[in-house]
Chains A and B, each alone.
Chain A
Amino acid sequence: MERILTKNVGKPNSQDIEVYLGGGGYKALEKALGMKPEDVIAEVKKSKLVGRGGAAFPTGLKWEFTRKESAEAKFIVCNADEGEPGTFKDRVILLNDPHLLLEALVIGGYAIGTSRGFIYIRGEYYREIETVEKAIEQAKAKGYLGNNILGSDFSFNVQLYNGAGAYVCGEETGLLESMEGNRGCPDCRPPFPAQSGFLGKPTAVNNVETLCNIPAIMTNGGDWYSRIGSPDSPGPKLFCLSGQVNKPGVYELPMGITLRELIENHGEGVKGEFKAALPGGVSSSLLANLDTKLDYRSVANAGSMLGSGAVIVINKDTSMIDVAKNTIDFFAHESCGKCSVCREGTRRAREILTRFSNGGGKAEELDLLLELGEVMYDTACCGLGQASMNATASAIRLFGKEFEQKVRK
């Protein structure tokens, strides 16, 4: 498969606008500005591109909803608050090909009908922030940002907004709350950001990786894109491979490859013997079947979630109780605390798993954890709370014996 997202990664000075232009950069923007915004959206819809941040919502539809809203202001926001453990793909793009993202953002702004774009970038990504800042300056200097871009009457500006260390601000409504100067606690949806987002105005929030597919879609057309890889989930995916694997890294591959192919052909195999993997970071359920295809539907059918494609590999020497506890520690730390069920649920789940870790578990607490997981999925306000018990519940279901061994006699 020809690389689309990482095609410039590895080129010397790939962040420089001259290198980007030399490789055909900003031509997609030129093409898009010659089309009607509605037609730009139509191409994106044809491509069947879905969000790469974890929620997998059709991008074309999101842009269409935002465009259709009538309001005196609209916004497009790039979610670069990458925080899911096991996810490190967006940083690769931000560091190595920032202009790919900027070009996509301008196209998106044009399609939706706004001249204001933001990139919400996590605060710990110091180098990436600096790189994107420079890229913005370069783009402005060359007229790809600012007033009357490429001689059209479309103007567009990008402002960088730095996160300050909160995973929950990667949730789109938490992100928008954060930008408004509030505590970054997610909101109830509906209404969705497309109707009421930043400052109550229609806002499209898109992940970095999602946006970086746009220039290629503009250049080659939506139909072309829809035929790449798996017909259900077309397009390339940046898979992040980490954990107990020999060659962790970011791999741009078509969706539909199996877990085995990813780990063995690209990751050079497991360190030790394979036990299980989390396909979508710590928010997903464990997969024990190496032959699971890595696309949204197949992973869902296997009882898990592909999410952002952050594949964490676990070997046989690792305790599943330990894995479960580590995932719950993460959610307990990152819960925004607003909704009772996530805050109190992660608190108690952590206590129970700690007891199990120390050999003091109670048999009835395993069923209690499963019930808690179901209630948290049912009632938590946002994806964090809803998914927080996935790994733990799957660990109990698939590796129940390990837990039973730690029940206090």
Chain B
Amino acid sequence: MGISGWRTKVDETMESWGKSKEALLPCLETVQEMCGYIPQEAITYLRENLDVPSIDIYGVITFYGMLTTKEQGKYVIRICDSLPCHLNKSDGVLGVIEKELGIKAGETSAERKFTLEVVPCLGLCDKAPAMMINDEIYENLTDGSIKEIIAELKR
């Protein structure tokens, strides 16, 4: 988590895309990746450097599912509920995880360890039901495999 280091990386991103609006999304992704969310200082920095009003930056952040201004858990769990996963019992997956973590979809657990999200198609339809935790993929989930994965992370 390079909360203070994002500035350097953002400068690099602006170098490669130019200091214009086209650099906005890549810069936001850089910050999101480094901090797990987008702090207000980062928005101010981008407003000043890219000359884009804050409300426009905020409008872009809130448009995309992977960008957020709210601090998230250390592990962001994304469970797919689109049709192929749904047909392969993704509800069951969600139920097991909610029970294991004690939180519902859309919530973050105590001490900000886990954030649980239900998301649309992750492109893992042939390995349904599937989920992602941060940038790791977990496929062909069963009740048993889910419990193991969660237990491992809880440690």
Spell out A's residues near B (CB within 8 Å): 82-88, 90-91, 122-127, 159, 161-167, 178-184, 199, 240-244, 248-250, 278, 282, 310, 312, 314, 318, 322-323, 326-327, 329-330, 333-334, 336
The answer to whether A88 touches B124, judged by C-beta atoms less than 8 angstroms apart, is yes
Residues in A neighbouring B32, C-beta threshold 8 A:
164
The answer to whether B120 touches A88, judged by C-beta atoms less than 8 angstroms apart, is no
The answer to whether A125 touches B123, judged by C-beta atoms less than 8 angstroms apart, is yes
A-B contact pairs, 20 of them (CB 8 A): A85-B82, A86-B125, A87-B125, A123-B66, A125-B123, A127-B135, A162-B26, A163-B64, A164-B25, A164-B28, A164-B29, A165-B65, A166-B65, A180-B21, A181-B50, A241-B126, A248-B128, A314-B87, A330-B83, A333-B120
Residues in B neighbouring A182, C-beta threshold 8 A:
21, 56, 60
Residues in B neighbouring A244, C-beta threshold 8 A:
87-88
B59 within 8 A of A: yes
Given contacts A85-B84, A166-B63, A330-B82, contact A181 B128 (CB under 8 A): no
The answer to whether B132 touches A85, judged by C-beta atoms less than 8 angstroms apart, is no
Name B20's closest neighbour in chain A (CB-CB): A181
The answer to whether A248 touches B126, judged by C-beta atoms less than 8 angstroms apart, is yes
Residues in B neighbouring A249, C-beta threshold 8 A:
126
Contact of A326 among B67, B86, B124 (CB under 8 A): B86
Complex Cα distance, B66 from A249, in Å, reads 27
The answer to whether A164 touches B87, judged by C-beta atoms less than 8 angstroms apart, is no
Name A329's closest neighbour in chain B (CB-CB): B81
Name A124's closest neighbour in chain B (CB-CB): B122
Residues in B neighbouring A326, C-beta threshold 8 A:
81-83, 86
Q: How far is the CB of B29 from chain A (nearest CB, A)?
A: 5
B24 within 8 A of A: yes
- Please report the total number of B residues contacting A with Cβ < 8 Å: 42
The answer to whether A240 touches B83, judged by C-beta atoms less than 8 angstroms apart, is no
The answer to whether B66 touches A164, judged by C-beta atoms less than 8 angstroms apart, is yes
Complex Cα distance, B118 from A329, in Å, reads 12
- 6 closest residue pairs by CB, A with B: A165-B65, A181-B21, A85-B82, A165-B66, A181-B24, A164-B64
The answer to whether A181 touches B25, judged by C-beta atoms less than 8 angstroms apart, is yes
Spell out B's residues near A (CB within 8 Å): 16, 20-26, 28-29, 32, 50, 52, 56, 59-60, 63-67, 78, 81-84, 86-88, 119-128, 132, 135, 137
Complex Cα distance, B20 from A312, in Å, reads 42
Name B62's closest neighbour in chain A (CB-CB): A183
The answer to whether B26 touches A85, judged by C-beta atoms less than 8 angstroms apart, is no
Given contacts A86-B121, A166-B65, A334-B120, contact A181 B52 (CB under 8 A): yes
Given contacts A84-B121, A124-B123, A162-B26, contact A183 B63 (CB under 8 A): yes
Residues in B neighbouring A127, C-beta threshold 8 A:
135, 137
Complex Cα distance, B66 from A167, in Å, reads 12
The answer to whether B123 touches A312, judged by C-beta atoms less than 8 angstroms apart, is no
Complex Cα distance, B82 from A336, in Å, reads 18
Interface core residue of B20, B81, B87 (most chain A CB under 10 Å): B87
Residues in A neighbouring B29, C-beta threshold 8 A:
123, 162, 164
The answer to whether A282 touches B82, judged by C-beta atoms less than 8 angstroms apart, is yes
Q: How far is the CB of B68 from chain A (nearest CB, A)?
A: 10
Q: How far is the CB of A32 from chain B (nearest CB, A)?
A: 28
Name A88's closest neighbour in chain B (CB-CB): B123
Complex Cα distance, B120 from A87, in Å, reads 12
The answer to whether B87 touches A83, judged by C-beta atoms less than 8 angstroms apart, is no
Name A123's closest neighbour in chain B (CB-CB): B66
